[in-house]
Amino acid sequence: MWRSLRLVSALGLCASAFAQSSTVDSYTSTESPIAKAGVLANIGPSGVKSSGAYPGVVIASPSTTDPDYLYTWVRDSSLVFKMLIDQYTSGQDTTLRAHIDNFIAAEANLQQVTNPSGTVSTGGLGEPKFNINETAFTGAWGRPQRDGPALRSISMITYANWLIANNNESYVTDSLWPIIKLDLDYVMNNWNETTFDLWEEVDSSSFFTSAVQHRALRQGSALAAEIGQSSVVSGYSTQADNILCFLQSYWNPSPGFMTANTGGGRSGRDANTVLTSIHVFDVEAGCDGVTFQPCSDIALSNLKVYVDSFREIYSINGGIRADQAVATGRYPEDVYQGGNPWYLASFAVAEQLYDALIVWSNEGSLTVTDVSFPFFQQFDTNITPGTYSSSTPIYSSLTTAIRNFADGFVAMAAKYTPSGGGLAEQYTRSDGTPTSAVDLTWSYASALTAFNARAGKTSASWGASCLSVSPTCSTSMAPTVPVVFNVNATTVVGQNIYLTGSVGALTDWSTTGAILMSSADYPIWSTAVTLPANTQIQYKYIIVDNGEVTWESDPNNEFTTSMSGITTINDVWR
């Protein structure tokens, strides 16, 4: 009987998805050319909003005050040109060759510019940003930032592989390889040094940086072997293996997310991790967790924890159900420019989900594990761990719901995109008004990559499949188990039920960070949480009504988690 009910539910989801999809279809159709024009407008020398920028130089934004972004960042430029190079090499846009060649020349020049981080041979490749006339920026800044060389080499290796496939290996060997090698050598020699993070605020080890460094060395080793540069292959491969081991240490098993930075004093829930997943996506790697592929159980668990951390901190998310898309930002503790949602963060969540759907479709099945169970349980409260073939109603129901969920994040960005289609850096947490830097190049690029993923387009493989960590790699991960909390609670309009408790996965008794429960089966409120195995847990439910908190009566609820498998707890509000 319950399977029949699931099928009815799936049909209902289809109707909802079609309604949402039509809105997103319209938005992607109109916004795509605007976003593409927005990217090109910010590239020198001919971009209409990049006056003064040298050829191939990408400005972050034409904004010159509050904030002043009229600079070129190695990270932003490399991510933007990775997108353009993918479009060019896939045949999506064959007019981009001159832009790509200008970019390569500009970055080769910037590598040689002495700057506050050093010279080309003494650390200068870690300098994050430069003036748009290719001179050094000498003001105070968070430096070094070690993701730039990795991302720059990744973008150029993508181009190099295409050139080799099109019988132009001599240009790769003579012109591209010297540029790429400088960056790869920097990564190889400095990956285990601290770095300022993606947001230029925390000096520690950073998950995003480590992950793209691993990808760069893995791709660089393969390219070196291809063009006969065998002397560097062993060094790149050895350090890639070491980084892959180190990457596993970022995993926080309870409540199941990647800690974005090893320092900084924040919760660690951060768009850094979602951006990592989409920028290491390799369609041939399936749902591999070791390389944090978008459909891996740890990446899906991480996504839920990240998204849920924003549900109650932005006014524009008020009234949105716990299983629906919301506006997301960099990290919940953010205060920069008011600490608002970012367009690129909303697009990144959607892109990870679209990437996951691509792989499930290719493989003809999806797998629910104990780790990913809380993610899938949002869409099917009766789901159990297992593998579901594409021929089953459960697979259809889940993938339909997840695509609709992904579309919801694009729809959120669309809702707060002004009529002209311009994408700023942020939109305000109070009413969604675009704010901070206008015409952010990265915002436009992130829209385009999300739209491509929605259309089923993927980039070339980078070699993530069949990788494994060394048997000597030690990452001490404590065992965890999924626990479903259900509470029968009657509420009035405006009230929501939250869960909090005695361990970090239950927010350490926090009321402001408590876990919002889903009312999809009202009056039963439900949520799934990953908790430490074989651990005594205390918890309570609270009602929040316009900021006013009501605790259920004493004593605390208490139980001990199992060693394995799913535990379901059914409570009644006291």
Helix (H) or strand (E) holding 427: strand 426-427
pLDDT of residue 23: 87
User: What pLDDT, in 10s, does the model give residues 430-477?
Assistant: 999 999 999 999 999 999 999 999 999 999 999 999 999 988 786 655
Q: Structure tokens of 188?
A: 């190889």
In a domain? residue 51: no
Co-location of 263 and 300 in the same domain: yes
DSSP 13-43: HHHHHHHHHHHHHHHHHHHHHHHHHHHHHTB
Residue tagged active-site, from 169, 200, 203, 363: 200
Residue 200 is among the residues annotated as catalytic for this protein: yes
Residue tagged active-site, from 147, 197, 297, 308: 197
Helix (H) or strand (E) holding 572: strand 567-572
Q: Which residue has the higher pLDDT, 480 or 306?
A: 306
Mean pLDDT to the nearest integer, 523-551:
91
Model confidence at 2, pLDDT cuts 50, 70, 90, reads: very low
- Residue 208 and residue 270 in contact, taking contact as beta carbons nearer than 8 Å: no
Residue 440: give the domain boundaries. Answer: 13-25+254-314+323-471
Q: Structure tokens of 555?
A: 């004593």
Co-location of 517 and 416 in the same domain: no
Q: Which residue has the higher pLDDT, 241 or 2?
A: 241
User: What pLDDT, in 10s, does the model give residues 366-420?
Assistant: 999 999 999 999 999 999 999 999 999 999 999 999 999 999 999 999 999 999 9
Kindly report the backbone phi and psi dihedral angles of residue 409, in degrees, each rounded to the nearest multiple of 5, phi listed first: -75, -35
Residue 197 is among the residues annotated as catalytic for this protein: yes
Q: Which residue has the higher pLDDT, 55 or 529?
A: 55
In a domain? residue 242: yes
pLDDT of residue 512: 83
Co-location of 518 and 497 in the same domain: yes
By mean pLDDT, which of 147-161, 207-221, 478-492 is the weakest? 478-492
**Which of 421, 451, 471 is a domain's end point?**
471
Q: Report the binding-site residues for substrate.
A: 141
Co-location of 404 and 498 in the same domain: no
Co-location of 247 and 262 in the same domain: no
In a domain? residue 292: yes
pLDDT of residue 503: 85
- Residue 325 and residue 408 in contact, taking contact as beta carbons nearer than 8 Å: yes
Mean pLDDT to the nearest integer, 175-181:
98
Co-location of 273 and 246 in the same domain: no
pLDDT of residue 456: 97
Co-location of 501 and 367 in the same domain: no
Model confidence at 533, pLDDT cuts 50, 70, 90, reads: confident
For strands 426-427 and 434-435, give the pairing. Answer: antiparallel
Helix (H) or strand (E) holding 251: strand 251-252
The count of structural domains within the chain is 3
What single letter denotes the amino acid at residue 242?
A: N
The enclosing domain of 395 has a CATH number of 1.50.10.10
Q: Report the binding-site residues.
A: 141
